[in-house]
Structure 1
Amino acid sequence: MGPAVLERALLDIAVPIAVLDGADPHLPVVWVNRAFEVTTGYDAAGARQHQRDPIPPGARNPDALLAVREAVRARRDVASTLSLRRADGSVYTCRIQLSPLLAADGTVEHWVAALQDLTDQLSHDAEQAALVEAERRERRSLGLVAQVSDLLMDVDDRTTPLHEIASLLRHALVGWAAFYVNDGGLRQADGVDANRPPSGKGRKHGVAARQVDEGGDRTPGPDAVQLLLDGAKERPVDLPLDGWFPRGSASSWLADHVTAHAVPNLTAASARAAVFPVSGRRRVLGLLVVLPRTGSGLDGLDQSARTVLELTARRVGLVIDNARLYDREHRLAETLQRAMLPQQADVEGLDVWTYYAPNSENVQVGGDWYDVLQISPDVVGVVIGDVVGHDVEAAAAMGQLRSVVRSYAYDITTPGPVLERVDQLVAGMRIPRSAGLVLSTLTRAEGAWRLEYSRAGHLPLLHVRDREVTELMRGGGPLIGFGGGGRSTESLALEPGDVLVYYTDGLIERRDRGLRDGIDALTEVVGGVTARDSAGIGEEILSRLADHPEDDVAVVVVRVPDPRDHLERGRSPRRRRWSLPSEPTSIGRARHAVVRTCHAWDMPNAANAELVVSELVANAVLHGFGHVSLQLYDTGDGLRIEVEDGNPAPPIATDGHPGRVGGFGIKIVERLADWGWRPSARGKLVWAKVRPGDLPPAAVRRPPGS
């Protein structure tokens, strides 16, 4: 193969090749092939003329150029990636393979440079890297949204702290983040607080620290934050943190608050905050405010980050809305249920204790009920019943039945005929739910009590005498509304110390235990009770059988007093409990319950205990949510009071909290008792142990909840 063939091969090969003069230290180009001319736009003369043109600073690779120079000095092959300039002025990256051509005496006559244009490869690599980065961002975004969803999963948990979600956003996405809620005015949010009223178009934002310069030519900017809160804007907005806004506006207050609380993250580049609406179903409930890590306002957020923040704000809004809606329905149902249950009055000559607890898995409403009627000075009526279902319809049916039974019981004191009349009326009323009940009357004659009762498809009463338990199975009949014929009335003469236990199936029935086994278990518990008063008996029954009820529970315990009771009072367990609705009337009920308990236990200083429980229950009603649990314990050296509600926030005294409304109640408690608090499964439990001694002069009575 001759030299001419080799020259044509080099000239026509698709690889760009240049021959450089090895005798010149600047290695000028002396020959190029056609591929080189196509790639660079230069022939040999043009390449030589522009060989030393400067490369833009961003495209320079000093380390690679230094490696090439060292290889040339050492007269050895070298491969390196460099940037070259084309004839049109563009810069491209190529891989250069440089090899020396030696003369007979060992000197380098020429250098051969073979070029590989990396433009397509780098573009492909960049595209692949961009795809990988986009996928990574999408995975990160999905993971972040999943974490937010996990934090918000338990809608019933009102302690879900929004600051945890804000902290998650700060850690993974933005420089700073915080949630604000609008309930008559903006405030920074700590958690999903269902006890707050629904958001409105509140403008109680206080006076802004930054005021409009009336003497200058600056005019206030638009109140974009208020437009978000009013629903006039749906998309997120930028909030200039150094802007000028109308006096007392939402934008002014928020800019001041963000500036004060985000100082470590605030830079000149982040002079604008991005504000996202936290929307419920029908209104804007609050705001999510963020400072991007780079850039300012919405411009500092890429599309992926904006999507995550918008989804987070939307999910938080729905959770807050659901929590508030659930809480409103919960309160409505509980208020309805409680309104239909009687306030137990003192019954002359009998010791009566009542208890009702709805199934917490339902909407705090159901069909179980009881009633205690003082029909006349010597006649007491006791009713317990159960309407099928756990909804408002069941409660409504229960309310109708209760009213009907009450009306007839005052007119006819014999239980059988009363239920016959109830059957007739219910058949005409078309009440949609079936129901069972027990109606009984206790009549006093010549100092002794006599029981008459009739059952309409309900569980038997338990009669206890000298720890021997008897099921009162007689006097039974079909469910209310299905009587058809006459209903019988059974009677029983009661003796001092006798106990009657009325109950619904929620007390004894479980998924793993049928009614018959449940009645046997209740009979065993009742037979072993050592208490000498109805409240003590009821407490022992509840502690053994009602720790984890699967249904509504209603219990009534009636005991005929025994003259020997005062001799054995110490045998009664020293514990009492009450479940109270979250409403002001519960304060008076709690005070009355504590005074009665102190007298029953022969405990002094009932006035101190009454004042302490009044303040604790008032705080639970005013500042908590959900029903209030009150428990009393005789510790041997004093009375311990425990009040539990659904708000996890700790009680706070007024001292050290300027502008706080209330807080005086805790100061009164401190004067009368040792007290403390702890978190509980439902929220918090506040306890107080009343100190012995007279009421301190400084502990004057204040209005409940002050």
Structure 2
Amino acid sequence: MVNTPGASNAPVPPTDALVGRAEPAAEPPPDLLLAALREVAVPLALLDDHGTLVWANREFEASTGYDAAEARAHQRELLPERFRRHHETAAARAAMQADRATSVTLTLRRADDSLFECRLHVSPVRGSDGVRHWVAAFQDLTEQISHDAEQAALVEAERRERRSLGIIAQVSDLLMDVTDRSTPLHEIAGLLHRTVVGWAAFYVNDGGLRPADAVSDHRPPSGRGNRHGEARRPDGGDETRDTSDEVQALLDGEKDRPVDLDLEGSYVRGSASHWLAEQARRELGTRAVDGPVVVFPVPGRRRVIGVLVVDGRHGGGLAGLEPSTRTVVELTARRVGLTLDNARLYDREHRLAETLQRAMLPQQAEVDGLDVWTYYAPNSENVQVGGDWYDVLQIEPDVVGVVIGDVVGHDVEAAAAMGQLRSVVRSYAYDVTTPGPVLERVDQLVAGMRIPRSAGLVLSTLRRGADGWVLEYSRAGHLPALHSRAGRVEQLTGAGGPLIGFGGGTRETATLVLAPGDVLVYYTDGLIERRDRDLREGLAALEAVVQAVTARDSAGIGEELLSRLADHPEDDVAVVVVRVPDPADAAERSRSPRRRRWSLPSEPASVGRARHAVARTCHAWEMPDASNAELVVSELVANAVLHGYGHVSLQLYDTGDGLRIEVEDGNPAPPVSTDGHPGRVGGFGMQIVERLADWGWRQSSRGKVVWAKVRPGALPASAR
């Protein structure tokens, strides 16, 4: 043997000793095999050919609590009847009859009456005497089932979380635009009904609960002390509060957690719980309700705006709602509450802005010998007051002043600057009259007042003489007015100068002699300015529209300008159209342009007053089709009374070729022509208007104006 330095001299066992010899080993003795089967860590049992247990190892005893004798005595009890899988046991029995190995899943009962599920593997064996027995190996599935259950629970939890996130995302999509007046809450309630609950409905609290159909709501929410109703004592005594009214406690903010509402419960009449239970029963109808419904508060920033009522799919009230379902409903209620609050805040600010702006703008002046039309509308996307303004002044019997201007900005400061400038210009215009000197004085005063906002304007005066009207004007950093004569349009670019307050010198005055039929168009940049074009292109577009106008009255001209240029304004818009009457016009030869205006309260009686006003006007103006005009105005005023708010303004115009009717109300939503109300009278108003007149609508500083021009020879009302 050769010894290698550093190596151990210990003998190395041959490889055969580690991996076994290739030759077969001797058969182990039977007692060794029996001992091995007895000690193996797998429950084993030996069954005779009739299925009777005759032997079991120690692991079987440890798993079941029975030894072989006890297991044999309780063999039928090992397999509980209610847990038997008859289709599997029948298949296993058929395999055993065919002398084949088989497996079957069983639920076994231990000696302590606990149950465990296992997989039984059965194989046939024969002894030296040829008698067949069966070796049964039991595989305990408890750990595997627990692991599978945990995995299934995790998968289900993830599925519910994904579903919840998806529902909240859909709710957020429905509430994305808080100023959208048409987003109905019933869509969100329907979403909850389709996904997580059996039924859902929203109710808002405005001095009392009421069903909520839309996010937009113009009435302020009630707070503490503004109750749904006063509960009366059973003895008929004085009104008192029902202290057990949990729904009212939610509305008052005394509770911030959802409460159960038993629809069959007894509640004090007039209480919020009594009203809501009746409403929920009416909504659910004959559908069976298993247990109470659940009432969730819909919180705003400072107070509870309403409630969300749901009926869980599995009943049981609040306790029957799954945690994920409750989370979804609570988050939905909170988001709806914030959206309602935002919508109301937007509405309040928008109404305030329009009220302030309208108070600062003058009523359209009646001008003898001129046809004047004015228009103002704030940008619908901007709730702040703006700086655009116009003014029409009857300075002297034969002198009319027209002003249009724009203060930079869309905030209260811009509105304040606008109000100051308007007052200053008015004062000096009545004193000096000539535009240039007026603006010079305005420059001096504005510089001393230190008005923080830049402003531009056009000031003009129209003076009537023996030969007609003469226009004088001066511009202070504002877009030029347009002059249209016989289809030709030009910009009045003369007498230009810097913005108000930056003059510091002499302001020029330009003069233009007007001819009959001439049209002057004053405007602010909101009419022509767009993100996709500059002011020069917008001014060219305005010139083209004015040149193509076919109307022969200022109102018709103004409406054509708005319809073509102001469909989607990106800024405030102010427009003044002045037309010099043309004696050559046959429709105007015997009468100058005429207009009448009425302010009507928003009440049904105003419809009759409007009809009488139209009838008297048509008679005075010698217009035919008075009955058609009466029918048209009654439909327009009725819509304003039913669907609008605030006073209703009625204006009638003699356009030379017919009667133009304008009705203004405070609701900015457009009128809609419908097919009527199935099963009810009404709903055909705009269809009647369409048969008798050309009509349209536009936004106004108050809300909207719906106009209609009665068509001569339209189908008489009596023939309908």
Question: Do Structure 1 and Structure 2 share a fold, with TM-score over 0.5?
Answer: yes
The reply on whether 1:65 has 2:85 as its aligned counterpart is no
Q: Which residue of 2 aligns with 1:131?
A: 154
Compared with structure 1, are the counterparts of its residues 61 and 305 closer, same or farther at alpha carbon in structure 2 (3 Å cutoff)? same
The reply on whether 1:503 has 2:523 as its aligned counterpart is yes
Post-superposition offset of 1:631 = 11
1:239-278 to structure 2, matched below 5 A, reads 239-267=261-289, 270-278=290-298
1:145 to 168, 178, 182: 168
SS of alignment partner, residue 383 of structure 2 = coil
Structure 1: which 5+ runs fail to align?
215-219, 698-706
The reply on whether 1:39 has 2:63 as its aligned counterpart is yes
Structure 1, 154-163 or 626-635: larger mean CA deviation: 626-635
Q: Distance in 1 between matches of 2:652 and 2:82?
A: 79
1:330 to 339, 342, 350: 350
Q: Which residue of 1 aligns with 2:306?
A: 286
Post-superposition offset of 1:473 = 1.8
Q: Distance in 1 between matches of 2:671 and 2:288?
A: 30
Amino acid at match of 1:192: V
Q: Distance in 1 between matches of 2:159 and 2:111?
A: 39
Q: Which residue of 1 aligns with 2:188?
A: 165
The reply on whether 1:87 has 2:111 as its aligned counterpart is yes
Compared with structure 1, are the counterparts of its residues 641 and 563 closer, same or farther at alpha carbon in structure 2 (3 Å cutoff)? closer
1:182 to 205, 210, 219: 205
Amino acid at match of 1:239: L
Q: Distance in 1 between matches of 2:309 and 2:201?
A: 5
Post-superposition offset of 1:343 = 0.9
SS of alignment partner, residue 247 of structure 2 = helix
Contact 2:202 2:211 in 1 (8 A): yes
The reply on whether 1:77 has 2:101 as its aligned counterpart is yes
SS of alignment partner, residue 363 of structure 2 = coil
Post-superposition offset of 1:581 = 13
Post-superposition offset of 1:114 = 0.6
Q: Distance in 1 between matches of 2:716 and 2:371?
A: 30
Q: Which residue of 2 aligns with 1:237?
A: 259
Amino acid at match of 2:84: R
Contact 1:455 1:476 in 2 (8 A): yes
Post-superposition offset of 1:76 = 2.9
SS of alignment partner, residue 481 of structure 1 = coil
1:195 to 215, 218, 240: 218
TM-score (norm 1): 0.83
Q: Which residue of 2 aligns with 1:701?
A: none
The reply on whether 1:17 has 2:41 as its aligned counterpart is no
Structure 1, 547-556 or 587-596: larger mean CA deviation: 587-596
Post-superposition offset of 1:139 = 1.0
Q: Percent identity?
A: 66
Compared with structure 1, are the counterparts of its residues 69 and 236 closer, same or farther at alpha carbon in structure 2 (3 Å cutoff)? same
Post-superposition offset of 1:413 = 1.0
Q: Which residue of 1 aligns with 2:500?
A: 480
The reply on whether 1:97 has 2:105 as its aligned counterpart is no
SS of alignment partner, residue 551 of structure 1 = coil
SS of alignment partner, residue 180 of structure 1 = strand
The reply on whether 1:401 has 2:401 as its aligned counterpart is no
Structure 1, 329-338 or 625-634: larger mean CA deviation: 625-634
Q: Which residue of 1 aligns with 2:324?
A: 304
Q: Distance in 1 between matches of 2:153 and 2:615?
A: 75
Deviation string, structure 1 residues 47-104 (Cα, Å, up to 9, x no partner): 2233222655553333333334444444432210111122332111111111222356
Q: Which residue of 2 aligns with 1:340?
A: 360
Q: Which residue of 2 aligns with 1:7?
A: 34
Post-superposition offset of 1:295 = 2.8
Deviation string, structure 1 residues 98-149 (Cα, Å, up to 9, x no partner): 12223567542x2211111111001101111111111111111111111111
SS of alignment partner, residue 52 of structure 1 = helix
Q: Which residue of 2 aligns with 1:543?
A: 563
Compared with structure 1, are the counterparts of its residues 324 and 212 closer, same or farther at alpha carbon in structure 2 (3 Å cutoff)? same
Q: Distance in 1 between matches of 2:235 and 2:159?
A: 48
Structure 1, 134-143 or 57-66: larger mean CA deviation: 57-66
SS of alignment partner, residue 135 of structure 1 = helix
Contact 1:18 1:30 in 2 (8 A): yes
Compared with structure 1, are the counterparts of its residues 673 and 154 closer, same or farther at alpha carbon in structure 2 (3 Å cutoff)? closer
Q: Distance in 2 between matches of 1:561 and 1:675?
A: 28
Compared with structure 1, are the counterparts of its residues 68 and 667 closer, same or farther at alpha carbon in structure 2 (3 Å cutoff)? closer
Q: Distance in 1 between matches of 2:380 and 2:366?
A: 29
The reply on whether 1:362 has 2:382 as its aligned counterpart is yes
Compared with structure 1, are the counterparts of its residues 30 and 647 closer, same or farther at alpha carbon in structure 2 (3 Å cutoff)? same
Compared with structure 1, are the counterparts of its residues 374 and 69 closer, same or farther at alpha carbon in structure 2 (3 Å cutoff)? same
SS of alignment partner, residue 365 of structure 1 = coil
SS of alignment partner, residue 389 of structure 2 = strand
Structure 2: which 5+ runs fail to align?
1-26, 237-241
Post-superposition offset of 1:399 = 1.4
1:380-529 to structure 2, matched below 5 A, reads 380-529=400-549
Q: Distance in 2 between matches of 1:20 and 1:685?
A: 96
Compared with structure 1, are the counterparts of its residues 404 and 523 closer, same or farther at alpha carbon in structure 2 (3 Å cutoff)? same
SS of alignment partner, residue 77 of structure 2 = coil
Compared with structure 1, are the counterparts of its residues 338 and 422 closer, same or farther at alpha carbon in structure 2 (3 Å cutoff)? same
Deviation string, structure 1 residues 597-622 (Cα, Å, up to 9, x no partner): 97999743558736853663464366
Post-superposition offset of 1:423 = 1.3
Q: Distance in 1 between matches of 2:455 and 2:366?
A: 28
Amino acid at match of 1:174: V
Q: Distance in 2 between matches of 1:491 and 1:685?
A: 35
1:156 to 179, 187, 208: 179
Q: Distance in 2 between matches of 1:392 and 1:281?
A: 25
Q: Distance in 2 between matches of 1:50 and 1:338?
A: 95
Contact 1:229 1:277 in 2 (8 A): yes
Compared with structure 1, are the counterparts of its residues 334 and 482 closer, same or farther at alpha carbon in structure 2 (3 Å cutoff)? same
Compared with structure 1, are the counterparts of its residues 601 and 99 closer, same or farther at alpha carbon in structure 2 (3 Å cutoff)? farther
Post-superposition offset of 1:561 = 1.8
Contact 2:231 2:268 in 1 (8 A): no
Aligned length: 672
Contact 2:648 2:663 in 1 (8 A): no
Higher CA-based Rg: 2
